[in-house]
Amino acid sequence: MEFFKTITALKKKLSDEKKHGRTIGLVPTMGALHVGHLELVRKSITENSLTVVSIFVNPIQFNIKEDLLKYPRDLASDLEKLKSVGCDYVFAPETTELYPEPDLTRFDFGQLDKVMEGKFRPGHFYGVAIVVKKLFEIIEPDQAYFGEKDFQQLTIIKRLVEMEKMSINIIPCEIVREADGLAMSSRNVRLSKNERDIAPQIYKTLKNIKKTYPVSNISELLKVSINLLNSNDGLTVEYLEIVDAKTLNPIKKPYETNEIIACIAVNLGNIRLIDNLKLT
């Protein structure tokens, strides 16, 4: 496994590889890797000649400074994990390498970045789109792997590739969960023992919604579910919505479209957790 910090060195390496006809899979991450990330890496390894994993805690996608400062970082352990699964190249640039000056590109994702995460994390998807576009331009992967855990992000990246007419296949990867159902996340290590015990209620609620769905009164189902979750110590639901998986518009009638997904964000103590479950 080779490690790169500069764009020039990585581009040189990859251009040599491409001359030999090798296909490239990219897995963008912010590090603090867990089994969920490694599943994306494994999938890329089986589907491409070479896999590049990027590790970059992207400052411009954090709308709360404390969240950026407290984001877990452990490069040495990440490199060990990536080596153990057979990753080929790791790209971990400094912030100044990716942003020698502020990037002023603007995107129009329409409704996609205004709802759910977009509403509660202003500027978040703008930051994500900027960094992913940069990584795509530097690495020029054939395929890029994104987790369904960040479902709205995945939808926006697909749209980005369409808008920019990039010939990159975006490969969605299923959510990897802990044994008790909690979606794996780099932020889980920051949960206290008590919060960690409560956290599986999030997925439990989503599963209950799926079991109950379809119902005629969707807003009532959401209200009951939110109240139940909020009754847990220290847990506050930020949003819980049932949306069209393509447009991310809230569903009003149970069979409005054929791809429907429930998406949730909660604050558990100081930690923000998201999850989702397809209902159809």
Q: Which is nearer to ligand AMP, 36 or 93 (CB)?
A: 36
Our finding on whether 184 is near ligand AMP (CB under 6 A) is yes
Q: Pick the closest to residue 92 from 43, 49, 29 (CA basis).
A: 29
Asked whether the beta carbons of 206 and 262 are under 8 A apart, the reply is yes
Strands 271-278 and 260-268: antiparallel
List beta partners, residue 273.
266
* Alpha carbons 204 and 182: distance in angstroms, whole number: 9
Our finding on whether 146 is near ligand AMP (CB under 6 A) is yes
Task: List binders of ligand AMP among 150-169 (CB under 6 A).
Answer: 150
Closest CB 215 distance from ligand AMP, rounded Å = 28
* Alpha carbons 39 and 42: distance in angstroms, whole number: 5
Q: Is 20 a catalytic residue?
A: no
Among 116, 160, 168, 176, contact with ligand AMP (rule: CB under 6 A): 176
Closest CB 170 distance from ligand AMP, rounded Å = 10
By CB under 6 A, how many residues form the interface with ligand AMP?
Answer: 16
**Cα–Cα distances in Å, from 94 out to 98, 174, 280?**
7, 30, 42
Our finding on whether 141 is near ligand AMP (CB under 6 A) is no
Among 90, 147, 199, 206, contact with ligand AMP (rule: CB under 6 A): 147
- Residue at shortest CB range from ligand AMP: 147
Closest CB 237 distance from ligand AMP, rounded Å = 20
Residue type, 36: G
Closest CB 175 distance from ligand AMP, rounded Å = 4
Closest CB 223 distance from ligand AMP, rounded Å = 28
List beta partners, residue 4.
91
Angle between helices 218-230 and 201-212 (to 10 degrees): 160
Backbone angles phi, psi at 22, to 5 degrees: -80, 140
Backbone angles phi, psi at 111, to 5 degrees: -75, -25
Which one of the spans 7-15, 30-38, 105-113, 240-248 is the region binding ligand AMP (CB under 6 A)?
A: 30-38
Q: Which residues lie near ligand AMP (CB under 6 A)?
A: 29-30, 36-37, 40, 146-147, 149-150, 173, 175-176, 183-186
* Positions marked active-site: 37
